[in-house]
Amino acid sequence: MTTKGEQFAGVTVALVTPFRNGEIDYDELRRLVDWHIEQGTDCLAPVGTTGESPTLDHEEHERVIAAVVERAAGRIKTMPGTGSNSTREAIRLTRFAKKVGATGALMVGPYYNKPTQEGYYRHFAAVAEAVDLPLVLYNIPGRTASNILPETIARLAALPQIVAIKEATGSLDQVSQIASLCNLTLLSGDDSLTLPIMSVGGRGVVSVVGNIVPRDLKALVKAYLEGRTEEALRWHRKLFPLCRDLLGVATNPIPIKCAMKLLGRGTGELRLPMCALDESGEKRIRQTLQAYGLL
């Protein structure tokens, strides 16, 4: 079966939003875009969960999208987060992404208001109808408090604009069911599950640890896609402790921002209600980076 959205296969990095003294550091943001182009990252997803979108105001959200797309200048694909729990707001943000030239948009399921499955369908269908831009669904019940079921995802897959899904339920059964019901490009939403998800039909990952090791993640994904499964497994085993600690010590993006700070890349600053790790948490991240060979 040919998959829709094959342009989003590979490694997309869920980009952090760098802050300095409480404000977005746009110079650092542009440096990050350049670095990912040098590293060979396939696509960037700014203003997602990792980009602390819940604490950016609407103007900042748009400015980050515009800054990343402008700096990318066609050298790397862009898939900004434009989801919302308000359909009107999701349409507005997605229209903005289209206007500034994004490759596609990453659309999280509406959070907090917990729509029915029919509500999910109508929400995404409304955005797809309103904006001529490839849409990548993002299913993360741990954040939204509600699961978009495989049958609903299959209904949405019939819409031309909806081309892929970032699956972060942590359930291989759900991924397998989606793969059996439709031809969306399946992307892992959990770094540690990239290889397992690829083994049941996934085509890549939207990654957090890619903020520091995009080349290694790309090596894993490329090896698997090219049939070198033993090599992919070796990369999985090398990356697994890094993925586990950078996503398990505290809520994302607290650990990855700590790691980037320790690697001399940005201030590590977060916006409340996110706050920095305590001394023992930072020590664990330092040890993880040392064990991986990054420090």
138 labelled catalytic: yes
**10 Å Cβ neighbour count for 291?**
12
* Helix, strand, or coil (residue 27): helix
State how far the Cα of 190 lies from the Cα of 243, in Å rounded to an integer: 9
Residue 199 has which token pair?
Answer: 């083994």
61-81 as b/e: b if 16+ CB within 10 A: bbbbbbbbbebbeeebbbbbb
Residue 186 has which token pair?
Answer: 């399946």
CA max distance for the chain:
50
User: Helix 229-248 vs helix 254-262: angle between axes, to the nearest 10 degrees?
Assistant: 100
Residue with tokens 């090596």: 219
State how far the Cα of 43 lies from the Cα of 75, in Å rounded to an integer: 10
Any bridge partners for residue 225, and if so which?
none
Residue 7 has which token pair?
Answer: 């342009």
> Of 166, 218, 222, 257, which one is the catalytic site residue?
166
Those residues with Cβ within 8 angstroms of residue 35's Cβ, 6 or more apart along the chain or in another chain? none
Those residues with Cβ within 8 angstroms of residue 194's Cβ, 6 or more apart along the chain or in another chain? 188, 202, 204, 205, 207, 217, 220, 221, 236
> Of 138, 218, 257, 292, which one is the catalytic site residue?
138
**What amino acid positions are annotated as catalytic residues?**
138, 166
